[in-house]
């Protein structure tokens, strides 16, 4: 099997080639990695230096990697805030010739933080509301562009402080689909998924003591509606 790097721009295959593709991502040596905060994930995700930039590497099956790569490229074309897809790496083998999982490479979103890092100090309710507002704006933009997310959550979003406000970026497009126009049923489904995911994530934060007492009261009293009520998605 031969290593293949399918990339958008011609300079990426060369800069990505130096990464240790013959080692499972979970075992990449520390000197290759960049220690930046990342959110909860199903797959192994790591940050690495490639050429002059920091990239996020996600190990995922080939079909899913190619699909997510295509969807992130679609979002770029549709001018919706999302991480930039750089490449898909296939044909990886280890030193014994055993196959390794393909990888999706995206550009690390500079200045972004996963929500858990933002909640490391107790967050004021007004700040939470601003984060959720940013996520609601992202969801509306996705829907207007014809993108059904399928897994809207705080974990699948990155936040960047943008001139005093927060801007939200989609980071995980795996479950998405693009259509010329979404039906109201598709939009409602996405909002329902967002409600359930965000309420669960806020309850986790509450359980770990990361929520300000005033927001705690709100989320524990109305677990399934608090998040969406504050971000206006209901
Ligand atoms: N391009 C990127 N820039 C910054 N962080 C990223 C990037 N890609 C992934 N991450 C971090 O890795 C986490 C997991 O990525 P994600 O695509 O959601 O993986 P999974 O499909 O396993 O859920 C994200 O929550 C985010 O914190
Ligand atoms: Mg995810």
What percent of the chain has pLDDT above 90?
72
Q: How far apart are CA 193 and CA 149, in angstroms?
A: 9
* Best residue among 71, 158, 159 to mutate for probing ligand 1, ranked by most atoms within 8 Å of CB: 158
Using alpha carbons, list the distances in angstroms from residue 209 to 109, 116, 202: 28, 12, 10
Q: What is the pLDDT of residues 31-89, one digit of tens each?
A: 999 999 999 899 999 999 998 899 999 999 999 999 999 999 999 999 999 999 999 99
Ligand 1 pocket check: which of 8, 38, 84, 160 to mutate, most ligand atoms within 8 Å of Cβ? 38
The rounded Å distance from CA 96 to ligand 2 centre is 31
Q: What does the pLDDT look like over 168-189, one tens digit per residue?
A: 999 999 999 999 999 999 999 9
- What per-residue confidence (pLDDT) applies to 233? 40
Domains in the chain with CATH codes: 4-107 (3.30.200), 112-231 (1.10.510.10)
Distance CA 41, CA 35 (A): 16
The contacts of residue 185 (CB under 8 Å, 6+ apart) are none
Please determine, for residue 225, whether its predicted confidence score (pLDDT) is greater than 90. Answer: no
Partner residues linked to 159 by β-bridges? 113, 168
Q: What is the pLDDT of residues 147-161, one digit of tens each?
A: 999 999 999 999 998
Q: Among the atoms of ligand 1, which is closest to the Cα of residue 155? A: 25
pLDDT in tens, 88-135: 999 999 999 999 999 999 999 999 999 888 877 767 888 889 999 999
Report which bound ligand comes closest to the CA of 172: 1
* Top-ranked range on mean pLDDT: pick from 8-17, 139-148, 198-207: 139-148
């Amino acid at each position: 099997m031969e290593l293949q790097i399918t990339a958008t721009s011609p300079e990426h295959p060369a800069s990505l080639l130096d990464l240790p593709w013959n080692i499972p991502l979970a075992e990449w040596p520390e000197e290759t990695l960049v220690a930046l905060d990342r959110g909860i994930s199903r797959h192994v995700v790591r940050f690495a230096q490639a050429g002059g930039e920091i990239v996020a590497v996600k190990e995922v099956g080939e079909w899913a990697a190619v699909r997510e790569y295509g969807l992130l490229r679609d979002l770029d074309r549709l001018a919706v805030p999302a991480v930039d897809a750089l490449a898909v790496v296939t044909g990886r083998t280890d030193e014994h010739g055993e196959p390794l999982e393909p990888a999706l490479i995206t550009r690390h979103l500079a200045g972004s933080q996963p929500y858990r890092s933002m909640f490391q100090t107790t967050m004021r309710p007004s700040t939470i509301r601003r984060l959720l507002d940013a996520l609601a704006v992202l969801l509306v933009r996705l829907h207007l562009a014809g993108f059904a997310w399928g897994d809207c959550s705080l974990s699948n979003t990155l936040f960047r402080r943008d001139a005093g406000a927060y801007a939200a970026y989609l980071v995980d497009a795996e479950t998405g689909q693009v259509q010329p126009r979404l039906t109201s049923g598709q939009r409602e489904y996405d909002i329902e998924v967002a409600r359930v995911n965000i309420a669960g994530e806020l309850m986790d934060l509450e359980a770990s003591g990361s929520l300000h007492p005033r927001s705690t009261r709100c989320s524990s009293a109305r677990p399934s509606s608090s998040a969406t009520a504050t971000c206006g998605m209901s």
